[in-house]
Homo-oligomer: A and B are copies of this chain.
Amino acid sequence: MLEIPILGLLSEAPMHGYELRKRLSALLGTFRAFSYGSLYPSLRRLQEAGWIDEEDVPIEEPAGGFGTRSRRGKRVYRLTAEGKEHFAALLAEVGPDAYDDEGFGTRLAFFAQTRSDIRLQILEGRKQRMTEQADGMRSSLARTRERLDRYTLQLQEHGLESADREVRWLNELIETERRGPNPSP
């Protein structure tokens, strides 16, 4: 879901849907683009759950004029008290989904608001996941190397290199995290 990124962005400042989407794209790079078809329904769900609420900002009326009012105003969303609690709880609990591409990316984006021990746990879990993936690719590659055409071979070697690079990157992050001092919220 878009639970973590939406609550996370709203924890920094109230925002309307359109801006939320822009900030999401900027934050997560082009690595993950969220369409309105998932954003607006998510906002609806989060609102029903009571974690965010909405303040409508109507169109600015030209002073003294009789505007048509036909255009919708902005819907500015902000975290409720329960929403703040829920977001903190989300950042504090670590499941297997924190280790896959999407879950890890969104959590890393809000690491500054995450406890240091949880940060380490997530980094270690992701590292283990990527190490297993890389090793799987390596052994598969060793087994089937001769049977592959050069293009498939290139594809798999590039994938393997990317996985290995991510493991090395994670090692740096882990080392920095251990060395500290890293502010814990």
Contacts and interface: CB of A to CB of B under 8 A. Distances in A.
Given A154-B173, A173-B154, A159 B29 contact: yes
Copies in the complex: 2
A26 B139 CA distance: 11
Given A108-B151, A108-B155, A162-B162, 9 more contacts: A27-B152, A29-B156, A30-B133, A30-B136, A108-B154, A109-B151, A109-B155, A154-B173, A161-B165
A133 B112 CA distance: 26
A152 B30 contact: no
- The residue in A150, A160, A161 that gathers the most chain B C-beta atoms within 10 A of its C-beta is A150
Nearest to A136: B30
Contacts of A169: 154, 158
A4 interface: no
A105 interface: yes
Nearest to A144: B26
Given A158-B169, A162-B162, A169-B158, A151 B29 contact: no
Given A158-B169, A162-B162, A169-B158, A109 B29 contact: no
A66 interface: no
Contact of A155 (B29, B137, B144, B150): B29
Interface of A: 26-31, 105, 108-109, 111-112, 133, 136-137, 140, 144, 149-152, 154-156, 158-162, 165-166, 169, 173
15 contacts: A27-B152, A29-B156, A29-B159, A30-B133, A105-B155, A108-B155, A109-B155, A111-B149, A111-B151, A111-B152, A112-B149, A154-B173, A158-B166, A158-B169, A162-B165
A108 B108 CA distance: 31
